[in-house]
Amino acid sequence: MVFGFLSSGNNKKGKERKKLHDSSGNNGKRSSNDIILKDINIFYSGKQAIKDVDMTIPEKKVTAFIGPSGCGKSTLLRNINRMNDEIVGCTYDGEILWQGTDILEKKVDPVALRRRIGMVFQKPNPFPKTIFDNIAYGPKLLGIRNKKKLKEIVEKSLRDAALWNEVKDRLNDSAMGLSGGQQQRLCIARALAVEPDVILMDEPCSALDPIATAKIEDLINELKKEYTVVIVTHNMQQASRISDFTGFMYLGELIEFGKTRQIFENPKEDLTERYITGRFG
Amino acid sequence: MGFFDRGSTELKKAPLTKKVAKLSERVVVSTLFSASSVSVLISAAILYTLIEGSIKFFNFDEVSIWDFLFGSEWIPSGTDPSFGIYPLLSDTILIAGGTILLAGPIGIAAALFLSEYAPSKVRNVAKPVVELLAGIPSIVYGFFALFTIGPIVREIFPEATYFNALQAIIVMTFMVLPIVVSISDDSLKAVPRHMREASLAMGATKWETSIKVVIPAAASGISASVLLGVARAIGETMVVTLAAGSISGGHWNPLMEIQPMTSFIAQTATGDIPPGTPQAEAAFAVGITLFIMTYFVNRIAGRVVLRIKKGSIVKKEPSRVQKFIRKNTIDRIRKPVEITKEMISYRPIRIDRSIKFIDKTKLKGNLIRRKIKGYFGVSTTVLSLVLAFVFLIYLLVEVFIKGAGSISWDFLTSEPGFRVTEASIMPALTGSVFLMLLTLLFAVPLGVGTAVYFNEIAKDTWYTRFLRNVIQNLAGVPSIVFGLVGLAIFVRLFNFGPSLLAGSMTLALMIMPIIVVSSEEALKSVPQSFRDAARGVGATRWQTVRDHVLPNAVPGIITGSILSLSRAIGETAPILFIGAFFAKTAPSGVMDSFVALPLTIFFWSRHAQDEYHEFASGAILVLLVILLIMNAIAIFIRYRSQKRRVW
């Protein structure tokens, strides 16, 4: 068992945080495909944004991070594929174990890592290129030049992201002409095109209307059968609808982590309960 | 008496219907309005000069418009003159094209390094250093091209002539570089960060992200920077006049002597061409051609730059014309996509991950190749920047080594004679100082007045938009064209003769638009809340400006004015027609003839005796020191005011 004793001595209120992770993992079975965060601290130019976070994100499940704005959910998420490396002044320590490697180690190449741990952002951010070129961008970088093969990849990625029917007749139009929801699914398709194992999503629906949101949520439900999905959301209903596991964060700390059902129906922490019931602050 | 004594006051009884704005307010506002309208007069003067001169030119029997436009020979003097613009035009294109062919890639690469790779410390040092290249007067570049780059070029290409296009192109590359770098850098920086993140998050390297995502997204701004560089190269006069020769070519050979349009115009100012001949008036016809060329290039570039400033480089709203064309062509052919029920009632299909396209075994080798490519790419960008630095240092060191020997007390202060030993820059130095003071007197009130009118008083009407356009266009007019205007308007029409007055007015016309722009920046930096507060207690528009806006904007305005004056003092081309080439004493009045430092440098550089070339370096050294001092003062003022700023 690696889970039970991961939580460090960060027990300000003397609450029993140690048992936080008992409920996680595939019913206690550990897999090397789980993402295990150990003692993660993240700093922005010396200011601490994340404090001693420990958790295990299980394989092929949806794990949601919830919490009020500025609590560090996105910062933590961005560390999982080392996007924080790109931010000047951002430093971190701790370990993230995945497939037997500490992916925070220097020798791990973030470029290679990011192909396997893809990311979808808050604001749909297609490149100002055609729909086809958006999807083909990643495979092309990986050395695929064969036109036929690229076409197949584009079609499969778009089908998997449930966008194919809507755009199959205008693959050579600019991606900027799509609606917000379509753009976001395009971004998901783009991430799928390089065949990752994990998909990180940073508030993927916050810029979308309810119908587009519903589509993305359906898609996430489908994706989790094949991919590990980690999603940051400020929308608690969304977390409760789509996630299997939920972590509640507050002021850079992971307050509680567990099965979504448990977090929402029977939170162990007072803070969690107050946040979930809306009696916060 | 209560705590708040609202006892009788005069103010309380003032009727609301009484106009608060007094006569003085109206006078001030209309003065500002007139100041801003002067730019229209300037534009009119430019057009008048060029058109009137051209008409005179085409009225000569020897000249026809047809031959001018389509003739292939340019032989302005002799018994059988021929005025076909082609050789001048092709030489201009050769020079500008060659320059941008070098400056474009180098500048874009350097900008890419600055915006994507340079740590902020490097960036904060490197960008001002690159911009320093823009502050060096073109006459200095010309001198450097002729006496330092020239020998190197002839060493490498023994067949190159003494004057040749290549040496001018090399030097102008670095002259144009700051324009390309700073505008490209701005537009690269304007590419939203999420675009880069999208690419990086998929496992693209930083270099791939730069090349395949960031540069394409900034393409319009980068092309604008290149266009502005082209416009600058087309209008450049002194480098080509000094280093490229005076025989019009049309041979497209960069190793031979050529004569672009600007160089021909300058030649009429310096050669002994009898006035009233077609040869003398040809300058105006060439001038109008030059004006039209730069106008259009600047126009196109200006539109793009404006779009970048508004922050819409990525999403382009098609213009009305584009929409119309689209509607009538593409959309008619292609059926609009029908939204079917199947598309809306949506269920993702079962995702099958067993189908793999990517060959995982090749990924590692592939990644190494991509990384190596990236290292090479980034090295190129660093190298481009280093190249600019090396050039700048080389230029400064050369000037110092060559010029330091000739500096002496006599060189600076004595009255010059005609012998080599008696060379002195005293008349030029004093002439430059007087010229600068007079230019300040004319340009600053006009420029600041216009800026205040635009920023504080004017409403957005067609007239103010028109004025803005006019000023923007003025800023792009080549300096030699201002020389022609000075000649036609101040020297001839106003009958000032070749005097200090005419010279300083000409320079004032040229730097006015720059002062407008920098003053407007200074005014814009004053928070709107200051104005609201003043207006809220009943101050009039002008009172608000006078008491609250101007005092806070003064440091910025002074800084901008000093910088534009330093530009004026280094200019040669505008006063080429007006200044005297030799003066024994300092000018004693505004109607006196004068000589200025850049003119002296020009004159000495063309002197046959080698000693004078060293004197020219000495004069350059003095000029650069003056510019350095002016810039230092400007930077000091800016620094002090920023430190004191409390808002």
Q: pLDDT digits over B156-175, tens only? A: 999 999 999 999 999 999 99
Average pLDDT over every residue of B51-73: 89
Partners of residue B75 on adjacent β-strands: B82
Pick the residue with more confidence: B108 or B460? Answer: B108
CATH superfamily, with its number, for domain A29-276 = P-loop containing nucleotide triphosphate hydrolases (3.40.50.300)
Residue B395: the pLDDT is 95
Can you tell me the distance from the alpha carbon of B5 to that of A263, in angstroms, rounded to the nearest whole number?
Answer: 64
Between β-strands A62-66 and A245-250, what pairing exists: parallel, antiparallel or unpaired? parallel
Asked if B204's CB is within 8 angstroms of A138's CB, the reply is: yes
Which distant-in-sequence residues (6+ apart) come within 8 Å of A166 by Cβ?
Answer: A182, B337, B343
Residue B75: the pLDDT is 84
Chain B residues closer than 8 Å to A142 by CB? 203, 358, 363, 366
| Probe site for chain B from A74, A99, A141 (most B CB atoms < 10 A) | A141
Residue B423: the pLDDT is 82
The residues in B 203-232 lying below 8 A from A, measured between CB atoms, are: 203-205, 208, 212-213, 216-217
Q: Residue B457 corresponds to which tokens in the numbers above?
A: 């008083």
- Compute the CA torsion angle B220, B222, B227, B232 (nearest 10 deg): 150
Q: What is the pLDDT of residues B507-554, one digit of tens each?
A: 999 999 999 999 999 999 999 999 999 988 888 888 899 999 999 999
Q: What is the pLDDT of residues B436-486, one digit of tens each?
A: 999 999 999 999 999 999 999 888 888 888 998 899 889 889 999 999 999
Q: What is the pTM of this model?
A: 0.86
Chain A residues closer than 8 Å to B314 by CB? 128, 176
Residue A6 pLDDT more than 50? no
Residue B5 pLDDT more than 80? no
Residue of B nearest to A176 (CA): B315
Residues of chain A with pLDDT > 90: what percent?
62
The answer to whether A49 touches A75, Cβ cutoff 8 Å, is yes
Can you tell me the distance from the alpha carbon of B185 to that of B385, in angstroms, rounded to the nearest whole number?
Answer: 13
What confidence tier does A14 reach under pLDDT thresholds 50, 70, 90? very low
The answer to whether B571 touches B598, Cβ cutoff 8 Å, is yes
What confidence tier does B344 reach under pLDDT thresholds 50, 70, 90? low
Pick the residue with more confidence: A278 or A47? Answer: A47
Residue A8 pLDDT more than 60? no
Residue A267: the pLDDT is 92
One-letter amino acid at A123 equals K
Residue B6: the pLDDT is 66
Can you tell me the distance from the alpha carbon of A102 to that of A55, in angstroms, rounded to the nearest whole number?
Answer: 14
CB atoms within 10 A of CB B106: 23
Give the helix ranges, DSSP H, for B240-335.
261-270, 278-309, 320-328, 330-333
Q: Where are the beta strands (DSSP E) in chain A?
A: 35-44, 47-57, 62-66, 90-98, 101-102, 117-120, 198-202, 228-232, 245-250, 253-259
Residue A281 pLDDT more than 90? no
What confidence tier does B314 reach under pLDDT thresholds 50, 70, 90? very low
Residue B312: the pLDDT is 46
Q: What is the pLDDT of residues B40-57, one digit of tens each?
A: 999 999 999 999 999 999
Residue A3: the pLDDT is 41
Q: What is the pLDDT of residues A92-111, one digit of tens each?
A: 999 999 998 999 998 899 99
What confidence tier does B341 reach under pLDDT thresholds 50, 70, 90? low
Residue B332: the pLDDT is 55
Asked if A126's CB is within 8 angstroms of B194's CB, the reply is: no
What mean pLDDT value characterizes chain A? Answer: 86
Pick the residue with more confidence: B361 or B267? Answer: B267
What confidence tier does B15 reach under pLDDT thresholds 50, 70, 90? low
Residue B14 pLDDT more than 80? no
Per-domain boundaries in chain A: 29-276
Q: Which of B567, B591, B438 has the alpha carbon at shortest distance from B514?
A: B567
Can you tell me the distance from the alpha carbon of B391 to that of B145, in angstroms, rounded to the nearest whole number?
Answer: 12
Average pLDDT over every residue of A145-173: 91
Q: Which of A274, A244, A272 has the alpha carbon at shortest distance from A259?
A: A244
Residue A27 pLDDT more than 60? no
Can you tell me the distance from the alpha carbon of B256 to that of B244, in angstroms, rounded to the nearest whole number?
Answer: 8
Asked if B314's CB is within 8 angstroms of A191's CB, the reply is: no
Distance of CA A204 to the CA centre of its chain: 9
Can you tell me the distance from the alpha carbon of B85 to that of B287, in angstroms, rounded to the nearest whole number?
Answer: 11
Average pLDDT over every residue of A17-42: 68
Residue B363: the pLDDT is 84
**Lowest pLDDT segment from A193-207, A215-229, B1-15, B268-282:** B1-15
Can you tell me the distance from the alpha carbon of B167 to that of B146, in angstroms, rounded to the nearest whole number?
Answer: 7
| Probe site for chain B from A84, A127, A133, A151 (most B CB atoms < 10 A) | A127
CB atoms within 10 A of CB B409: 8
The answer to whether A208 touches A26, Cβ cutoff 8 Å, is no
Give Dmax (Cα) for chain A: 61
What confidence tier does A188 reach under pLDDT thresholds 50, 70, 90? very high
The answer to whether B57 touches B199, Cβ cutoff 8 Å, is no
What mean pLDDT value characterizes chain B? Answer: 87
Helix (H) or strand (E) holding B616: helix B610-644
Asked if B213's CB is within 8 angstroms of A218's CB, the reply is: no
Residue B71: the pLDDT is 85
Can you tell me the distance from the alpha carbon of B214 to that of B192, in angstroms, rounded to the nearest whole number?
Answer: 9
Give Dmax (Cα) for chain B: 100
Asked if A187's CB is within 8 angstroms of B349's CB, the reply is: no
Pick the residue with more confidence: A23 or B499? Answer: B499
Chain A residues closer than 8 Å to B322 by CB? none
Pick the residue with more confidence: B418 or B284? Answer: B284
Can you tell me the distance from the alpha carbon of B62 to that of B560, in angstroms, rounded to the nearest whole number?
Answer: 48
What confidence tier does B3 reach under pLDDT thresholds 50, 70, 90? low
Can you tell me the distance from the alpha carbon of B481 to that of B454, in angstroms, rounded to the nearest whole number?
Answer: 26
Residues of chain B with pLDDT > 70: what percent?
90
Residue B331 pLDDT more than 60? no
What confidence tier does A22 reach under pLDDT thresholds 50, 70, 90? very low
A112 vs chain B: nearest CA distance in angstroms? 6
The phi and psi torsions of A230 (rounded to 5 degrees) equal: -120, 125
Q: What is the pLDDT of residues B364-422, one digit of tens each?
A: 888 999 999 999 999 999 999 999 999 999 999 999 998 888 888 888 888 887 777 77
Strand order in the sheet with A101-102: A47-57, A35-44, A90-98, A101-102
**Per-residue three-class SS string for B45-99:** HHHHHHHHHHHHHHHCCCCCHHHHHHCCCEECCCCCCEECCHHHHHHHHHHHHHH
Residue of A nearest to B118 (CA): A88
Q: Which of B234, B161, B617, B181 has the alpha carbon at shortest distance from B388?
A: B181
The answer to whether A65 touches A76, Cβ cutoff 8 Å, is yes
The answer to whether B446 touches B508, Cβ cutoff 8 Å, is yes
Residue B189: the pLDDT is 92
Q: Which of A124, A74, A82, A125 has the alpha carbon at shortest distance from A104?
A: A82
Asked if B195's CB is within 8 angstroms of A219's CB, the reply is: no
Q: Which of B452, B462, B466 has the alpha carbon at shortest distance from B516?
A: B452
